[in-house]
Each structure stands twice: as C-alpha cells, then as structure tokens.
Amino acid sequence: MKFQIIAQRGAARAGLLELPHGTVETPAFMPVGTLATVKAVLPHELEELGARMILNNAFHLYLRPGTEVVEAAGGLHRFENWPRPILTDSGGFQVFSLAKLRKITDEGVHFKSPIDGSPHFFTPESVIAIEEKLGPDVAMVLDDVVRNPATYDEAAQAMRRSVSWAGRASAARTRADQAVFGIVQGGLHPELRIESAQATVDIGFDGYAIGGLSVGEKPEEMYPIVDVCCEVLPTAQPRYLMGVGTPRDLREAVARGVDMFDCVIPTRLARHSTAVTEAGNLNLLNARFKHDFGPLDPECECPTCRQYSRAYLHHLCKCGEILAPRLITYHNLYFYQALMRKLRQEIINEGCS
C-alpha cells in the first residue's frame, strides 16, 4: 500500500491510495457490501457511478458463507466479481451490537451466532487469520466498541483492551500484500482518544481508523473528537472514519483531515423509499410526488434522475416494486460519490500541493 497527499486546504487532504487492486482517489466513500454485495446494485454499476473501493464485513462472511468458501473461490474479489479494492471490517461493531449474545474478555469475544445460535470465539489473532483468507486489500483489527455516551471508566477499559488487541493483531500478520489499519477508540473523552491514538501509532499500522463514533452521540459531540484524533494521527498515512455518515458528516470530517468513509445510510435509505439530495432527503412514499413528473434531483446527472420522474418512483415505492430500491440506491450512491469528487476538487483547486 502507498498513500500520497497531492493537495491540502487547511486540514483537508486530497490523496492517492495505491492498493493491490487499484488506486483510490481520496477523500473516498466506500459503499457498504456487508455480505459481499452492495445491496441492489451490480458490480459494474458501482464502477459506473464512481465507486472505487467497497467495504465487506469479515464477521458476517465468517458466519455465511464461511471463510473456507470464499478462500476456495479465490478470495473476495473473485467471489463477488469486484475487481477493485476491498476493505473488510473486522466485526467489532457487530459484536458490540450483539449485547445479549456475547461476552467480552481480555482474551477475546465469545458470542452466539445471530443466525443459528451456534457458539463462536473471536480473538485478535483469529480475526486477522480470517481476513487474510478472505483476501481484502485492507483489513481492520478487532476492537472493543462502547455506545456513547459511555462513562470514562467504560470507555477507558474498552480503549485499552482495543490497544492490546491491536498489538496482538499486528504480531499475527503473515501477508505482506495486505494492509492492516489500527483503530482509535476512547468514546467522547479527548484524553482517552489521545492515549489510544498514540498507543496505536506506536504499534505501527498501514493506516488508522477512528472508531466508536456515530453510536449514540450528536454530531456536535462527534466533530471535536475527530479533530482530536486527526491532530495525533500521522499525516503521511490514510485516516478512516468508520460508519459515518450523512453528507454533512462527510463535509465536516473531510475538512478535519479524514480520507476514507463508509456508511449504510445511502443504501438503507433507498430501501426505505428515501432519496438523498442537496435539498434534503425525499421520502418518495409521500403523496405529494404522485403527480410530480420532474426529475428526482434536478442537480443530479445519474441515470435515475435523467430517465425517471418522481411520480414514477413514487408509484414503484407504493407498489413495493423491486425496481424502486434499485433506482434509488443507484442515485444515492451516485450522490455520495459526486459529493466526494466535489470535495476533492475543491481541495485541489483551492489548496496547496
């Protein structure tokens, strides 16, 4: 992996992230393909709308179809027919969400499968082994996530456990062709975030993620924490804000020096008949769209907006037609990619190289 910053405007950076399966222009938004598919869109459509890197989830793929199936297929890229870079989330957030089905210790995480109730045990070492078999370009270490607001003691315990796990994950690496990112934790406590960032950097990773945000706090509480983390993390390596966000979140975080993002928002909203636009979100089930024959978003150049009216999309949504989430998902992901291109170009045009 190579990362080069080509322009800066204040703290905001435009860069190039070179990975085994291609180069990604940053700042970049990665569509979420939890189960080796970005819901409702084909791989070639993702390329058409501008996506150059996607996220898969090691936790879910370990459970279904199983690591050995993906490995036998030749790795994730061949299994899902996506030729460009892939990042795998380790499953720390998914374990966090299984509050009634898991037990966390310093050694690792005991949990029951949400699919069939079978028992499993994740350690930092076993997760790295899983990700090496899955074969993404970038693998995330296992971390301990707490919901915000967490007490100082709760956040400190989870953060220090995450640092310990990161060290173990780093020592377990065997693939030189796979980048691994460490994760900064610490809740909404700046001093814990600084401690976590410094300790994680001391271990040494190819890039660094800011985790444990967008899990209960308000945006006004999140942005200062992003500031704190970016002030400590190395300038020469990529910074990734996990699971965030809204278009506002992306703008705010890019301005603070974040390079990479992922979030389920654009695809999840589409499955609930909601389109993202510069004017705000549009719920296409609303009766006001029944006779609206204008484009979904007059400012958008995507095929959905060029070829289909709000009235038609409203009709599809009301009827529960499968084409509705397909068309709206395409638009929402296009919107996110267009936003990232715009932010990148502004940095290049108005910044310094």
Tracing tokens 């393909």 back to the chain, one arrives at: 33
Asked whether the CA dihedral 157, 159, 164, 168 is positive or negative, the reply is positive
Task: Give the other-Cβ count within 10 Å of 49's Cβ.
Answer: 21
Do residues 152 and 189 touch, judged by C-beta distance below 8 A?
A: yes
Could you tell me the strand order of the sheet in which 22-26 lies? Answer: 2-9, 12-19, 22-26
Helices 190-203, 152-172: axis angle to 10 degrees equals: 10
Distance CA 186, CA 229 (A): 10
177 is catalytic: no
Do residues 297 and 335 touch, judged by C-beta distance below 8 A?
A: yes
Distance CA 276, CA 328 (A): 9
**Which member of 137, 144, 249, 262 is catalytic?**
262
Helix (H, G, I), strand (E, B) or coil at 39: coil
Helix (H, G, I), strand (E, B) or coil at 32: strand
Cα 111–Cα 117–Cα 118 angle in degrees, nearest 5? 70
Distance CA 27, CA 339 (A): 10
What is the number of residues in the chain? 353
89 is catalytic: yes
Nearest Cα neighbor of 206 from 250, 146, 259, 159 is 259
Which residue(s) pair with 208 in the sheet?
182, 239
Residue 187 structure tokens: 């809740």
Task: Give the other-Cβ count within 10 Å of 58's Cβ.
Answer: 27
Do residues 131 and 139 touch, judged by C-beta distance below 8 A?
A: yes
**Phi, psi at residue 178, to the nearest 5°?**
-120, 125
**Phi, psi at residue 210, to the nearest 5°?**
-105, 110
**Which member of 89, 137, 144, 297 is catalytic?**
89
Do residues 228 and 193 touch, judged by C-beta distance below 8 A?
A: yes
Residue numbers annotated as active site: 89, 262
